[in-house]
Each structure stands twice: as structure tokens, then as C-alpha cells.
Amino acid sequence: MSNPLYPLHAYCFSLFICSLSRFSVDLTDCYYEQFHLISKDPSFTVRSDGAIVAVAEVSVTTRGRTFSVLAEDNTGRESELEVHLAIAPQKKERTGILKRTKRRWSPPPLEIPENDLGPFPKAVETIRSDSEAKEPVYYEISGPGVDQGFFTLDRETGILYVHQTIDREKIPKFIVIVSAFSRRTNQQSDQPLDLAINVLDKNDNAPEFKDSLQFTVLEQSNPGTVVGQVNGTDKDEENTFRTKIKYTLLSGTDLFAIHPETGVITTVTNTLDREDKEKQLVIVQLQDMFGASDGLSTTGTATITVGDINDNPPTFTKTSYEASVPENESEKLILRIPVVDRDLINTPNWVSKFVITKGNENGNFRIDTDPKTNDGLLYVSKPLDYEKTKSIKLDVMARNVAELTGTTAQWSSIPVNVNVIDVDEGPEFTAPTIRFIVKENVPNNTLIGTYTASDPETKSSDGIKYYKVTDPASWISVDKNTGELRVANTIDRESNFVQDGIYNITMKAVDSTSKTGMGKVILQVEDENDNIPVVPISDLVICETQGKFGSVLVVAEDKDQPPFSAPFTFSLPTDKDGKWSVTRLNDTTATLNQIQDLPTGIYSVPVVIKDLQGFGDKQTVKVRICNCVNGVCKDRPSSISLGPLALLAMLLPLALLLLLCILLAFFCRTKGDKIELEDAGDGGGILLKSNTEGRGEEVVRL
């Protein structure tokens, strides 16, 4: 034998039969714990404790009987050993020979083979109670196995019979209750016996796949990469050699391997290529008895999906491209650039990103990706000028969202030549925007500047006319032939049309073919000292305080800008009356102080206010001295001016009162007159027929 096992003693297999229907032999000296033992003769089985048991009636001649036992150690080494049976003299006892002894009331668990085909009923064992030695007894049996019709017990002899085939995978064990009764008293002569009947397993179930055989592994994975694990199960008795499964690949061994004990599938090569074959089908075999020739097996097909990596860069379908675009156009698609990528569609390994690596320094172009086709979409994003650039050479690179891996390939680029198409354009001003500085209040007809245009192709200004498009305050006139700008009305920097000193004018130039060009003129209006400081609030209040003189703040404003405005100077005129004094508080404010005891009333106080340039005049400030409540003059007269609607609202009640008096007089005059009304019969007592559209006779005139 190759791969010899641990040595087994020869006497372990010299067995003698003392019952041809059933026997067992103890192999405690044979080191059975180190082996998996399987009988190759279906009439025998090897129990988990190492005992060889006959599971069917055995016929042995005088020459004996021989069968084989397959032994496998824990490392998987196998040996096949022969067992020799011989008939022993029944009266002679010798060591190692089975001997019939007196049955006790507490026998060990009985064992019967599964799937026994009969004939039935078949005797299993004779049950004897110790009380039978004292008096005649009879036996009864009960329990699930009896209720289901599997077992009966001969009342007189105590022989236990089995009546049908039993499947261990459905019922591995029975517990029946055996009772002994005195024939004389019909009373129990012994305690009831719980008798265990174990169903011995046979290898009658092929292993099955426990889980789905669907696995995934990335392409180009290194050898030894775990793909997944196949899990098998067997309905036969657990933890026996009959349920020890061996895993084998029957196909795909050039790419994959499977561990015979764990079922783990691994790669054996790094050549898996999703683009070549996305799904690999391999046949997996499950064998019980760890692959023994007399074991049972099952096969299944495992599907191994090869996952994608970005090992293929996008490639262009052409070597170069050419596109054309009219000048002055923007946000226009000018070219579609298709690419091919062998990686998995709609994944980062397949989705392309395009980059303009050369020729787009001025930002005239952009390139996007079509999400449906993965094509590159080249747009002109800023207008091009044919007179400046007639063609542009671009380099476009195609790459993926994911980085390349598992390949030496690089991202590729392609040249794209963009031709600019000349368009007959309208005139162009010398600059889109021009700025002129002008002082406010300059005389009319003062020349501000000239703003002209020319034809982009000929560079000539012949035949071009100039017009204003917008001039909000009508301050400018334009010479339509020369483009001269002159003052038409007084320019005022403090006007609402001026924002931060800026006044905007829109111009257009029209050539002989009525094509138009637009331009913008910015007037930067310089300030002049044409406004003096003023006091916008002249009605000031001083609340009279006993024993104290009051004061008020005088705040001045100047519409001019520095240096023609604040800081201001405040003073009283030379002919002052000695009742007031003024003190400068800050650049725009002064304090007007009362310096004499003055009665309540209104006082007009002249104050001289001048700007930084000394330009100013006398301002009259009205100051009211009064008794105050919460800072408000309590004796301040109210001056109310009523408008027409207010007068009408006051007169309306009087008019209504007058109308009411007239109506009362009318009712009093007609009260005594009785007016009979003729019923026309169809008025319902409510409405009167009338074809009169004019006014009635009874009309009250006011």
C-alpha cells in the first residue's frame, strides 16, 4: 500500500460470529480514533465508537467470510484493510469473542439500520425484565414509534419487531416505553423502561450545494486571489465520514482551483480578461466519504463573473479632426469626437473625460462629454475674430474618470484644426468703451471728444454714420459724419442721472449696408464748486429750562464733493444782536448757543456757513424757544390746511341733513291725502305694470 497508515494489529480484524443476525466487536485496541472507517460490505457498518456492527442477517460458511474496511487518517491518507469472519464454537469462551449473556431490564440503546427492505416484521431484540425470574409477566409498549406503526412488542415473548423501512434523515431516533406486568395481578412488576432505538445511518444521500454558485473576481487578479467559497451539505449523519465532503473542479482548472476540504475557489493565473470573456462557467463536484469510490456525488455549475478594471484607455476612431466656425459666434457645438473604450460601459472605467491640452490659451473653446454616447463635444465658448486669427490648432486628450491600472498603455491625444470663417461684419468702434473727462457747467457746444468706427475688413471709416442710442439727460450732441461729441445742455454733476460722477451714453455706427456696430461712451464728470453749504432743517427747538440757557445743533450740507464741500466753517455775521453764539462741533455740524435770557417764541438766527474753499453765504436758522413736554413744545400752534376733499367731507353731513328736512316736510304735506291704487289683478300686490321710461310725476327737486 502507498501512504501507509498507522499500524493496525491483525487481531483487530479476526472476528467471530456468535449471532448471524447481529453482532458487534469492540476495537478499543485498534486506535480507531485516528481513522475514518467505512465498511465496503453493506451488511456491516462501523459505528462512531469503532465497533463493527452487522446491520443485516449475515451468512457465514465454515470457511468464514471476508470484507473490506476503508480507513483514512486525518491527513487524507487512505488504506483498505480486510476483515475476516469465522464461526466460533458456542460453548468455548475466548478473549475477544462475543458472548450471549442474560438480558437485563436496562439494556443499552438498540440500533437498527435505515432503509432496511425487510421482509417485515423483523425481530430486533428480546426484552426481558428482571421480575420475570420471580413470576410470569407480559409486556406492553408505547410511544411515538409505536403510534406511527414502526414497532410492536410480542406480549408473551418480549420480542421487539420493526414493521417498515425507516429513513434516518427523517427520524434518527425513537424513544419507546416498555412496561412489564404480572400475569397474576396485572400490576406493573417493574418500573417502565425508556428504551432508545437509534437508526443507523447509511450513505444514502448525495451532498447538496448550500448556497448560490455566483462569484465575482477582478480581471488580472494575482494567482491565489480568493474568488469565493462553495458550501456543501449532506443529510447523512453529521461528523462522520459519510458526510465529509470533498470539493473538486471538473472544468476551468486552467484558471481556477478549489480547496478539497474548504471549498474555497482561488485563481491560478493572472490572465483573466473581462474584455475577452466576462463570465467563466466551471463545474464543481461534491463527493461525500471525501471522494471514496463508493461515495455519492453531485455536480453544479458555478458562474464566475470577471470584474472590470480600467486596463483599456479610450481610443480615437480617427488620427485627426477638422472643424469650422464663423467668427463672432459663441456657445456653439462645432465638432463631435467619438472614442472607443473596451471597459465596462457606464462605469468610471468607461466614461471619458476630454482635455484641451494645447491651443486654448485664450479660453475660446471648451469640451464636454456626451453622457449617452461618450463622445467628446467641442464648443466655441468665446467669439473668434477672423481678422485676428484665421485658424487654431488644438490638441485634445481623452482619458477616463478612473485612472489606468493593469496596463502599460497611456492616455492618447489627437490634433484638431479649427478654421475661422470670415463674416461680413458691421462697423467696429475704435474701442468697445471710451471714457472722456468733462467738467460740469462747461458751455454748450464745447467739444468733448471724437468716437469713430471702421469696417473690420477694410479698416476704413468711409460712409459710416454716428448716432446716439441713449443720452438720458440730453447733454450731448453727435456729429453723424465725424463722430464728434459736443455739450448740448448744461452738465450737472449733482444730477440724478450721474452715479458716482459717471454719466453713460450709448452710440451706434451704421455703414452703407445698414450694418450696425455699438459702442459706449462714459463721461466722467468733474465737480465744480457750484453749490454752497445749506441747512436743510431750519426749524429747531430749544426747550426752556429754568435758570439755564439752551442750545441746538445746526447741521449743514453741500452737494459738491471734496475739496468743494466739508469741512465747513460756522460764524455769526458782524451785525449780530448778542443773543446767540456759534461753536463748530465737527466738519458739518455746529452748536448754536443761547447767551441771553429770551422769552418763548420763534427767533430767526443768521449763521454764515462756508465750505473748504471759503465759498458760502448767510443761512437763516429758525429757532423756537418753548415749554416742552417729552421734548415737544406743548404750546406749539397747529396749522392745519384742509384740502378740497376734507372740505367736501365736512359739508356732506350738512347736505344730508338738509335733504332729510325737505323729505320730512314733503311727508307731512301729503299725510292727509288718501291715494287709492287700482289693483290690475296681475301684480301680485307688489309690482305695478308700467311702460313709462321717463321720470315720474312725483319728483322732489333739491
Residue whose grid cell is 443761547:
594
pLDDT value of position 685: 39
Mean pLDDT, range 482-492, rounded to an integer: 93
Which residue, 248, 226, 224, 227, is CA-closest to 300? 248
pLDDT value of position 63: 61
What's the rounded Cα separation, in Å, for the pair 571 and 74?
A: 120
CA distances from 184 to 137, 191, 488, 651 (A): 8, 17, 150, 138
What's the rounded Cα separation, in Å, for the pair 261 and 291?
A: 11
What's the rounded Cα separation, in Å, for the pair 260 and 266?
A: 12
Residues with Cβ within 8 Å of residue 565, at least 6 apart in sequence: 531, 533, 558, 559, 611, 612
pLDDT tens, position by position, 332-363 = 999 999 999 999 999 999 999 999 999 999 99
- Higher confidence at residue 544 or residue 5? 544
* pLDDT at 224 exceeding the cut of 80: yes
* pLDDT at 212 exceeding the cut of 80: yes
Mean model confidence pLDDT for the chain: 82
* pLDDT at 645 exceeding the cut of 60: no
Helical segments of 437-509, H only: none
Class of domain 428-526: mainly beta
CA distances from 50 to 33, 38, 46, 278, 332 (A): 8, 10, 6, 51, 88
Q: Quick one: cell of 441? A: 457747467
Q: Identify whether the C-beta of residue 458 lies closer than 8 Å to the C-beta of residue 445.
A: no
In terms of C-beta density within 10 A (0-12 exposed, 13-18 middle, 19 or more buried), how is residue 450 classed?
Answer: middle
Q: Which CATH number fits domain 104-202: 2.60.40.60, 3.40.1260.10, 3.40.50.300, 2.60.40.10?
A: 2.60.40.60
Q: How confident is the model at residue 485 (pLDDT cuts 50, 70, 90)?
A: very high
Which residue, 445, 464, 444, is CA-closest to 454? 464
Q: How confident is the model at residue 648 (pLDDT cuts 50, 70, 90)?
A: low
Percent of the chain with pLDDT over 90: 51
* pLDDT at 666 exceeding the cut of 80: no
Q: What is the 3-state secondary structure (H, E, C) of 51-95?
A: CEEECCCCCCECCEEEEEEEEEECCCCEEEEEEEEEECCCCCCCC
Angle at 528 between CA 523 and CA 530, to 5 degrees: 125
pLDDT tens, position by position, 307-328 = 999 999 999 999 999 999 998 8
Which residue, 154, 147, 165, 97, is CA-closest to 125? 154
Q: How confident is the model at residue 584 (pLDDT cuts 50, 70, 90)?
A: very high
pLDDT tens, position by position, 522-540 = 999 887 787 888 988 868 8
Q: How confident is the model at residue 469 (pLDDT cuts 50, 70, 90)?
A: very high
Residues with Cβ within 8 Å of residue 507, at least 6 apart in sequence: 429, 451, 466, 467, 468, 469, 478, 483, 518, 519, 520, 521
Q: How confident is the model at residue 53 (pLDDT cuts 50, 70, 90)?
A: confident
Read off the amino acid at residue 196. Answer: A
- Higher confidence at residue 339 or residue 89? 339
pLDDT value of position 20: 36
Mean pLDDT, range 245-268, rounded to an integer: 96
Domains 104-202 and 428-526 share a fold: yes
Mean pLDDT, range 665-680, rounded to an integer: 47
Q: Quick one: cell of 51? A: 465497533
What fold is seen in the domain 539-633?
Answer: Immunoglobulin-like (2.60.40)
Helix, strand, coil percent values for the chain (each to nearest 5): 5, 40, 55
What fold is seen in the domain 1-101?
Answer: Immunoglobulin-like (2.60.40)
Q: Quick one: cell of 66? A: 471476508
What's the rounded Cα separation, in Å, for the pair 524 and 512?
A: 32
Angle at 396 between CA 395 and CA 397, to 5 degrees: 120
What's the rounded Cα separation, in Å, for the pair 264 and 215?
A: 11
* pLDDT at 686 exceeding the cut of 70: no
What superfamily in CATH does domain 315-421 come from?
A: Cadherins (2.60.40.60)
What's the rounded Cα separation, in Å, for the pair 480 and 461?
A: 12
Note if the bond before 644 is cis, omega within 30 degrees.
no
Mean pLDDT, range 6-35, rounded to an integer: 40
Residue whose grid cell is 455769526:
572
Length of the chain, in residues: 702
What's the rounded Cα separation, in Å, for the pair 109 and 317?
A: 82
- Higher confidence at residue 591 or residue 693? 591
Percent of the chain with pLDDT over 70: 81
* pLDDT at 640 exceeding the cut of 80: no
CA distances from 521 to 201, 432, 441, 504, 585 (A): 106, 9, 19, 6, 43
What's the rounded Cα separation, in Å, for the pair 633 and 323?
A: 84
Query: Which phi and psi (to 5°) does residue 539 adopt?
Result: -95, 95
pLDDT value of position 35: 61
Mean pLDDT, range 680-694, rounded to an integer: 40
Q: How confident is the model at residue 122 (pLDDT cuts 50, 70, 90)?
A: very high
Read off the amino acid at residue 22. Answer: R
Read off the amino acid at residue 205. Answer: N
* pLDDT at 664 exceeding the cut of 80: no
Q: How confident is the model at residue 619 (pLDDT cuts 50, 70, 90)?
A: confident
Mean pLDDT, range 607-625, rounded to an integer: 88
Query: Which of 92-101, 182-191, 457-466, 535-544 is predicted least confidently?
Result: 92-101
What's the rounded Cα separation, in Å, for the pair 635 and 629?
A: 10
Compute, in degrees rounded to 10, the torsion defined by CA atoms 440, 445, 448, 450.
160
Q: How confident is the model at residue 52 (pLDDT cuts 50, 70, 90)?
A: confident
Query: Which of 125-129, 211-215, 363-367, 646-650 is predicted least confidently?
Result: 646-650
* pLDDT at 476 exceeding the cut of 50: yes
Beta bridge partners of 225: none
Strands 193-200 and 110-113: parallel
Residues with Cβ within 8 Å of residue 466, at least 6 apart in sequence: 451, 452, 453, 478, 479, 480, 481, 482, 483, 507, 508, 509
Q: Where are the domains of the chain?
A: 1-101, 104-202, 208-307, 315-421, 428-526, 539-633
pLDDT tens, position by position, 93-116 = 444 433 433 444 666 788 999 999
* pLDDT at 165 exceeding the cut of 80: yes
pLDDT value of position 95: 41
Mean pLDDT, range 471-484, rounded to an integer: 93
Mean pLDDT, range 211-236, rounded to an integer: 96
Q: How confident is the model at residue 51 (pLDDT cuts 50, 70, 90)?
A: confident
Read off the amino acid at residue 683. Answer: G
- Higher confidence at residue 147 or residue 457? 147
pLDDT value of position 697: 40
pLDDT value of position 23: 46
Q: Identify whether the C-beta of residue 584 lies closer than 8 Å to the C-beta of residue 590.
A: yes
Query: Which of 607-611, 648-652, 688-692 is predicted least confidently?
Result: 688-692
Q: How confident is the model at residue 11 (pLDDT cuts 50, 70, 90)?
A: very low
pLDDT value of position 276: 95
* pLDDT at 10 exceeding the cut of 70: no
Beta bridge partners of 510: 465, 516
Mean pLDDT, range 682-693, rounded to an integer: 39
Helix (H, G, I), strand (E, B) or coil at 21: coil
478, containing H or E segment: strand 476-478
What's the rounded Cα separation, in Å, for the pair 49 and 68?
A: 18
**CB atoms inside a 10 Å sphere around CB 599:** 7
* pLDDT at 646 exceeding the cut of 80: no
DSSP 548-591: B--EEEEE-B-SSPTTSSPSPEEE--TT--SSEEEEE-SSSEEE
Helix (H, G, I), strand (E, B) or coil at 135: coil
Q: Identify whether the C-beta of residue 256 lies closer than 8 Å to the C-beta of residue 282.
A: yes
Which residue, 190, 196, 176, 183, is CA-closest to 128? 190
pLDDT tens, position by position, 394-429 = 999 999 999 999 999 999 999 999 999 988 778 989
Query: Does the CA dihedral 484-485-489-490 come out positive or negative?
Result: negative
284-302 per-residue burial string, b: 16 or more CB within 10 A, e: under 16: bbbbbbbbbeebbebeeeb
**CB atoms inside a 10 Å sphere around CB 235:** 17
Q: What is the arrangement of strands in the sheet containing 601-610, beginning at the earlier edge strand?
A: 539-543, 616-626, 601-610, 569-571
Q: Quick one: cell of 672? A: 292727509
- Higher confidence at residue 284 or residue 500? 284
Domain at 208-307: CATH code:
2.60.40.60
Q: What is the arrangement of strands in the sheet containing 476-478, beginning at the earlier edge strand?
A: 447-450, 484-487, 476-478
Q: How confident is the model at residue 553 (pLDDT cuts 50, 70, 90)?
A: very high
Strands (E), 271-404: 279-287, 297-307, 315-316, 321-326, 332-337, 339-340, 352-358, 365-369, 376-380, 391-400
Compute, in degrees rounded to 10, the torsion defined by CA atoms 687, 690, 695, 699.
-50
DSSP state of 402: S
